[in-house]
Amino acid sequence: MTTPHRLFKDRIYEQLARVGKALAAPRRVELLDHLGQGPRTVEALAELAGTSVANASQHLQVLRAARLVEARKRGPYVEYRLAADDVSRFFVALRSLAGSRLAEVEQVTRAYFAGRGGDEAVGGDELIGRVRRGEVTVLDVRPAEEFRAGHIPRAVSIPVDELKARLKELPRDREVAAYCRGPYCVMAVEAVELLRKKGYTAHRMEQGVPDWRARGWRVATAREAAR
């Protein structure tokens, strides 16, 4: 006989399992990562994730059913965003847990960044403290729309494909901490490589906007900057 206690437990864990089921596909985890940078249309997400629009849409529907993302109509397009900041914090915690428990995460990451200078990422508290105190030039090399959606306070926005032409915007007498979408993003690696060749003292910062939010720190937006 099923007791009320057992029925309660079954129903609770069934609901918790909905989140786990929603993240059972690697592509859906990647889509959450991309949405941590800001709202995106289905078409943009499909391109970022290297999949078809139809496939991306199906994955997003699963995430939406688990209340992890929300959708809204923007003209002829459907735009998705994370349902709340706690979803971003959850993703950062998931990434951290996988990195600490699965040696394969570090192995795959090191193998990919080897020879690209990316293994020199600086993510320690010392650099983070200097960033927060404004002692280094913080460079956001993501696309401009991601910067507008949210960025580290006082960061300078120069997308990586524009960096070579806009180097004069960066003071040479200050260290540069370049960041992009987090520890698996190569854009900051490319930026640091270019900056060092041009004589700058530059480091890649592993933390991105989701990591900033996960620590409870303020994330600036283009709307604030325009005031």
Q: Which residues are catalytic?
A: 180
* Rounded alpha-carbon distances, angstroms, from residue 163 to 84, 154, 191: 32, 18, 7
Q: Which letter does DSSP use for residue 136 in this model?
A: S
CB 72 within 8 A of CB 63: no
**Alpha-carbon distances of 38 from 65, 71, 195, rounded to whole Å:** 20, 13, 27
Side chain identity, residue 191: A
DSSP-derived 3-state class of residue 140: strand
Nearby residues of 55 by Cβ (< 8 Å), 6 or more positions away: 27, 46
69-74 vs 77-82, strand pairing mode: antiparallel
**CB neighbours of 213 closer than 8 A, spacing ≥ 6?**
85, 88, 89, 92, 150, 219
